Structure 1
């Protein structure tokens, strides 16, 4: 495995499924709470780490939204984003397509411009500081009504030339993609890219809705697609990318054991899977950690790892020319390992 670990470390990669708010490390939570005078129910880092333990998606979301409360200023969002970029630069990540949840902030009284200005300042500096390019994806919280998504859309109007796509996250069960058909149509008309969480806890029917109803460009998670052979064929034939998050799936009990993770099966079925960290501060690892632990658990080969790295770029929203540059570098690195 040492040789495979070295290859994972050396390969350039893109991360396509990352919630910025989910990169809030315990140390940052304590730091931001102190500097903003926010009262949190934790007194030590050990208490925070103990709280970062879950049995399902809703358990996680409860602490996730609680953690957001410490993010109060543009500087907080800048520092959160910059810290994430610094960590993934160490993993040889060259491009990120990151999510943010504006409703999680405007719903507690922050103006829309506070999170997006702080996030964009960090992302705009990332290429010079870390050699990382980016796309920014604005997610809607699916447990809220679609009308509230339209209110957020109006607030986002001044920044739509800086926002590259929209997504759909939060509690999946009981909130099918079809609930947001109108807002997705509005975003499509504006030329934004479309992604949606589907098939993490929700049934294959939700993935069908995301693909054929919302007409997404990419599926976030998609694990339960494998329960439906026709759906697998639909995704494969359309060349849709799955942004898979193995350690997240383990933490949220989507799989009981990482050895049961479907990553290898996805690749063997011809699906365009990728490796991502989702909410790494909560789920125990950034991109390379997800690669390494999954490779060990399910027996990924050198060829699987190279394919996953390539998929991360061909599944991105970079231009074909930009993708080709990264793919050529992957080939060069692979040839030297």
Structure 2
């Protein structure tokens, strides 16, 4: 089964590019840019990657992002992730980036987007990997700050597929960003939002009904409401689930307690993603392998999860069909 996981082509729809910053690159960029980081060795960094909740992770995540300064830094960060895509047979990826994390430090919006985009362009030219870019608002900041960021993004509409919402969930409900998401929709962006990871299922309702999202990121708390489960099944609203992340951030105490198979068996449109893989001990194949080893996923389960990732992506129907055919070819 592990060989099957490795050989199947996949799409990844929930990946924070800043969360793919491996300790080795963090040290290299810190040295190059003369940025102080609170670690003396690469092993010190890895030791720090033991989290108690979402906020304890975010504190380290934002500190690590400080080493990203130049367009080349964002290129190198993205290119390293692309190498992991090649290893794990990810043929389409839709990556998140957090411009506010960088603009607040004086890094120009264009520096960030141009570095990421140029790496993704090279990935398509060299490996045939297709991609999209999703710009996320930081929900612990104000809606006005999000509006300011959206204004900056409009000059790059051709490069940005969608708008998302991430960062500290508790106390920052989707409703806080209703108006800015409405404007983003009017501008033609696809819409996604983190909801129902640490906060309860009411955040999922808000994301669907008030933000009019196309996809829910995480969504594992949906199991707390029968009514919501029925709606998610009927409307096939995608949930981009991140198993390793949920374990590392103590959403579930163990892999055996993770509910992704329950969600899948119920008929929900769930798929597997790696979230912040440098911090959460594994890229997409490792997430699949961990699920298989702890939850006894069947071959049909794995194939369904993989196909769901393509069906839930923001690519056109012809390209979806092309990738779904590649999955069937790999199975044969």
Alignment length (residue pairs) = 332
Aligned partners of 1:19 and 1:278 also within 8 Å = yes
Taking the aligned partners of 1:71 and 1:284, their CA distance within structure 2 comes to 21
Give the match's secondary structure for 2:88. Answer: coil
Runs (4+) of structure 1 exceeding 6 A deviation are none
Alignment partner, residue 58 of structure 1: 55
Alignment partner, residue 210 of structure 1: 207
1:163 to 154, 160, 165: 160
Q: Is residue 109 of structure 1 aligned with residue 90 of structure 2?
A: no
Give the match's secondary structure for 1:95. Answer: strand
Equivalences for 1:206-285 in 2 at 5 Å?
206-285=203-282
Taking the aligned partners of 2:236 and 2:270, their CA distance within structure 1 comes to 10
Q: TM-score, normalised by structure 1?
A: 0.98
Query: What's the RMSD between the two structures over aligned residues?
Result: 0.7
1:191 to 185, 188, 192: 188
Q: CA deviation at 1:233?
A: 1.0
Taking the aligned partners of 2:275 and 2:135, their CA distance within structure 1 comes to 15
Alignment partner, residue 81 of structure 1: 78
Q: CA deviation at 1:28?
A: 0.6
Q: CA deviation at 1:314?
A: 0.2
Aligned partners of 1:15 and 1:95 also within 8 Å = yes
Aligned partners of 1:85 and 1:130 also within 8 Å = no
Alignment partner, residue 328 of structure 2: 331
Taking the aligned partners of 2:227 and 2:122, their CA distance within structure 1 comes to 44
Alignment partner, residue 140 of structure 1: 137
Unaligned runs of 5+ in 1: none
Q: Is residue 176 of structure 1 aligned with residue 173 of structure 2?
A: yes
1:127 to 124, 130, 151: 124
Alignment partner, residue 294 of structure 1: 291
Give the match's secondary structure for 1:50. Answer: helix
Unaligned runs of 5+ in 2: none
Taking the aligned partners of 2:181 and 2:19, their CA distance within structure 1 comes to 24
Give the match's secondary structure for 1:280. Answer: coil
